[in-house]
Amino acid sequence: MKTLTLTDRLLGFFLGTMAAVLVGFSASIYAVASADLRRQTDDKLASALDTLAAAAEVKPEGIEWEPHERTVSLGDGPMGGRIAFSVLDDRGRVIDHSTPDPARDGWRTARRWLRAENPAATAVEVNPGEVMYPGIELVAELSPEPVRAALNRLALGLTGLSVLVWLVVLGTGRWICRRALAPLTRVAASAESMGIADPAARLPGTGAGDELDGLVGSFNGLLTRLHESFDRQQRFTGDASHQLRTPLTAILGQIEVALRRPRDADEYRRVLASVQRQSTHLHRIVESLLFLARADADARLPGLERLDLAAWLTTHLEGWNGHPRAADLRNLAASGPMWVSAHPLLLAELLDNLLDNAVKYSDAGTTVALGLDGGEGGATLSVTDLGCGIADGERAHLFEAFYRSPESRRRGIAGVGLGLTIAARLAAAMAARIEVSGRAGGGSRFAVVLRKA
């Protein structure tokens, strides 16, 4: 089945609405006209009965019908309809009537009784040709034909006019709908011709500030975000490939050199140890990349639990006892409990990343202090070192994947640039944030602000 275009649907809606309006409008006009003619008919019959009543002489002892002494002129009904009358005595006998009409079926009728106050029991002839009745009934009738014909003409006229208007709309509607939808068609055409490679490509706005303009604006906003995300992904892939290539090249080079000629066992052991070092590094990078990919895909928050941060920190630091810098770690947390909402495994991974950096970027023998602070904004777990610190311009980039400060490169400190990216993801998963302070050469402080529980 052929699918309807937007123009077809709009036209259908337009024609349907038009038909409903025309039918409603015509029916209303017809109803008003027909009620008005019925009212005119009733008025005319009432005034015909008044005229007839005026032709009778009403006395206390009886009523005389005197049409010859008083003129009975009933005129015409609405639209020239004929009015007929008859006068009946109290026994239903016709005393007088208008010129008889051949057929009076369906005529509209009005009746009125005239009665004397103290009538004789029966009709009495008072003078020759003059009869006094105890009561008479006046009947006026009006031919409905002219009104019916006028209403039929009106119905026909209204139907014809409505059909004509509807046909004109049908003829011009498609053109009108196409014109109304032209901006939409233009936007669709430019979307179709748009290449994904051009980051500056945007849909043209209508400039009218209408709904379509709003839609184009939102769509362009989405395009901007998509391009930014695409750029980030590309940079990330490029950086990741670069980071993986360096140890891989080293491994391949060493193996190639080792295989050029036979070597003794010590030589092979030395090469294998170097290959193992490089592979471990490679493994760490791959693990970090896998974690970041999983964290992106699984945006759900893990189940957080209520945790005493002070007690947890003391226990966690016991795991650092065997580390070469264990003696430099100072737990400055107050002894009282501090309840937070966190995930113990994620928090452990996050704190270990910060501690790894603190010991990596500070000299052996300098203190690395851990502190807890329960301020208004949440519970803060901080790691402060007295190392190389962070220059002002670098702070904004610390959490970008593969970012490494020039100072850390210059000093030849080993690293990949993924530790803080992972730490930021872990913090976000616990609805926490990481704040950084410190200056070049003056040590640094990384603080995780957790929600209190």
Binding site for ligand ADP (CB under 6 A): 357-358, 361, 385, 387-390, 398, 403-405, 408, 415-421, 444
Nearest to ligand ADP of 52, 418 (CB atom): 418
Largest CA distance in the chain: 167
Nearest to ligand ADP of 227, 395 (CB atom): 395
Nearest to ligand ADP of 82, 445 (CB atom): 445
What is the identity of the amino acid at 37? L
Compute the distance between CA of residue 301 and CA of residue 344 in angstroms, rounded to an integer: 14
Q: Which tokens belong to 300?
A: 């759900």
Query: Considering the complex, what minimum distance in angstroms separates the CB of residue 364 from ligand ADP?
Result: 14
Query: Considering the complex, what minimum distance in angstroms separates the CB of residue 412 from ligand ADP?
Result: 12
Compute the distance between CA of residue 278 and CA of residue 276 in angstroms, rounded to an integer: 5
Cα Rg of the chain (Å, integer): 52
Q: Is 406 helix (H, G, I), strand (E, B) or coil?
A: helix
User: How far lies 64's CA from each of 27, 91, 93, 135, 196, in Å?
Assistant: 49, 15, 15, 9, 105
Locus of tokens 């036209």: 11
Q: Which tokens belong to 330?
A: 């100072």
Query: Considering the complex, what minimum distance in angstroms separates the CB of residue 340 from ligand ADP?
Result: 23
Compute the distance between CA of residue 144 and CA of residue 148 in angstroms, rounded to an integer: 6
Nearest to ligand ADP of 263, 284 (CB atom): 284
Nearest to ligand ADP of 133, 361 (CB atom): 361
Which helix (H) or strand (E) segment is 424 a member of? helix 419-429
Query: Considering the complex, what minimum distance in angstroms separates the CB of residue 420 from ligand ADP?
Result: 3
What is the identity of the amino acid at 81? G
User: How far lies 268's CA from each of 137, 164, 260, 274, in Å?
Assistant: 140, 99, 12, 10
Nearest to ligand ADP of 51, 362 (CB atom): 362
Nearest to ligand ADP of 158, 420 (CB atom): 420
Query: Considering the complex, what minimum distance in angstroms separates the CB of residue 309 from ligand ADP?
Result: 21
Which helix (H) or strand (E) segment is 112 a member of? strand 108-115
Query: Considering the complex, what minimum distance in angstroms separates the CB of residue 322 from ligand ADP?
Result: 21
Paired with 436 in beta bridges are 446
Nearest to ligand ADP of 171, 406 (CB atom): 406
Of 359, 417, 355, residue with least CA distance to 387: 359
Query: Considering the complex, what minimum distance in angstroms separates the CB of residue 283 from ligand ADP?
Result: 14
Query: Considering the complex, what minimum distance in angstroms separates the CB of residue 233 from ligand ADP?
Result: 19
Our CA dihedral for 426, 429, 433, 439, rounded to 10 degrees, sits at 20
At 102, give phi and psi (nearest 5°).
Answer: -60, -45
Nearest to ligand ADP of 373, 407 (CB atom): 407
Query: Considering the complex, what minimum distance in angstroms separates the CB of residue 401 from ligand ADP?
Result: 8
